[in-house]
């Protein structure tokens, strides 16, 4: 994809995610189910945090494209490294995990992840913007431009640190409120919950490896080290 076209695409993607985040933060507060929007608000949900992550990624990508267009290659190289790190370690695996895990659990029992009480608060288009559109955007990004992946060990360590931070946030919310972020967690024993978290980390790692595989198959081997 030519740099001018890529710049426009990344700009539109950034605007789209910014608009989705704006729409979420301006939901009608008087109709919000109290059991859903307790301590932490929307920011306790991985779905919403992923939207912020995607907005940051596309913002960085747009900046990298602009720097390339105006021939600021030294600055562009640094920003591109940050862009590739964001995409490989977080943007692709997290968006893939959010979309696939949400719709899998929603199909099995929606009350575990998306209670019916939300239907009157979150429009259908916004639900799909949060949980469906993120996956084709991630695939399209791989098709649109190559990304250099870090050394496997470092990439997985960074991904594991991000997962640890989110799990810590979830546990802190439970400690403060006595309520789980997702009703699904209440059905597990402490040991079972630990196994569940580890299993989900393994799934995210699989998505990380899948993204690297797709990138390599389409663009060839291209890595950088820190």
pLDDT confidence of residue 214: 95
Phi/psi of residue 223, nearest 5 degrees: -125, 160
For residue 77, is it within any domain? yes
Q: Which residue has the tokens 């209440």?
A: 186
pLDDT confidence of residue 220: 84
pLDDT confidence of residue 108: 92
pLDDT confidence of residue 29: 54
What is the Cα Rg of the chain in Å?
Answer: 18
Residue 95: which domain range? 5-219
For residue 225, is it within any domain? no
Q: Measured between alpha carbons, how far is residue 151 from residues 6, 13, 127, 159 in Å?
A: 26, 28, 35, 12
Q: Rounded to an integer, what distance in angstroms lies between the CA atom of residue 50 and that of residue 76? A: 25
Report the number of distinct structural domains present in the chain: 1
Q: Rounded to an integer, what distance in angstroms lies between the CA atom of residue 100 and that of residue 19? A: 23
For residue 88, is it within any domain? yes
pLDDT confidence of residue 38: 60
For residue 102, is it within any domain? yes
Q: Rounded to an integer, what distance in angstroms lies between the CA atom of residue 93 and that of residue 19? A: 22
For residue 226, is it within any domain? no
Q: Which residue has the tokens 């990380």?
A: 208
Query: Which helix (H) or strand (E) is 137 found in, with range?
Result: helix 134-144
For residue 118, is it within any domain? yes
pLDDT confidence of residue 36: 52
Q: How big is the chain, counted in residues?
A: 226
pLDDT confidence of residue 225: 38
Q: Rounded to an integer, what distance in angstroms lies between the CA atom of residue 129 and that of residue 102? A: 13
What are the tokens at 7?
């710049």
For residue 165, is it within any domain? yes
Is the Cα torsion angle 163, 168, 173, 174 positive or negative in sign? positive
For residue 13, is it within any domain? yes
Segments in the chain below pLDDT 70: 1, 28-38, 221-226
Q: Look up the pTM and report it.
A: 0.90
């Amino acid at each position: 994809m030519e740099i001018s076209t890529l710049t426009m695409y990344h700009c539109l993607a950034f605007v789209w995610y910014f608009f989705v985040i704006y729409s979420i933060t301006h939901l009608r507060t008087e109709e919000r189910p109290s059991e859903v929007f307790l301590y932490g608000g929307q920011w306790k949900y991985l779905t919403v945090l992923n939207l912020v992550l995607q907005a940051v990624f596309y913002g960085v990508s747009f900046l990298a494209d602009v720097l390339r267009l105006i021939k600021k290659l030294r600055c562009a190289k640094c920003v591109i490294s940050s862009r590739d790190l964001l995409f490989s370690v977080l943007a692709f695996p997290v968006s893939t995990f959010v979309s696939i895990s949400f719709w899998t659990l929603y199909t099995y029992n929606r009350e575990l992840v998306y209670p019916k009480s939300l239907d009157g608060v979150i429009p259908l288009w916004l639900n799909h913007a949060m949980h469906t559109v993120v996956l084709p955007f991630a695939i399209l990004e791989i098709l649109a431009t190559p990304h250099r992946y870090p050394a496997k060990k470092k990439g997985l360590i960074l991904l594991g640190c991000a997962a640890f931070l989110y799990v810590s946030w979830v546990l802190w919310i439970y400690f403060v409120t006595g309520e789980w972020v997702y009703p699904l967690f209440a059905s597990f024993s402490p040991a079972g919950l630990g196994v569940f978290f580890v299993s989900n980390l393994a799934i995210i790692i699989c998505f990380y490896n899948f993204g690297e595989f797709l990138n390599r198959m389409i663009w060839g081997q291209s890595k950088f080290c820190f």
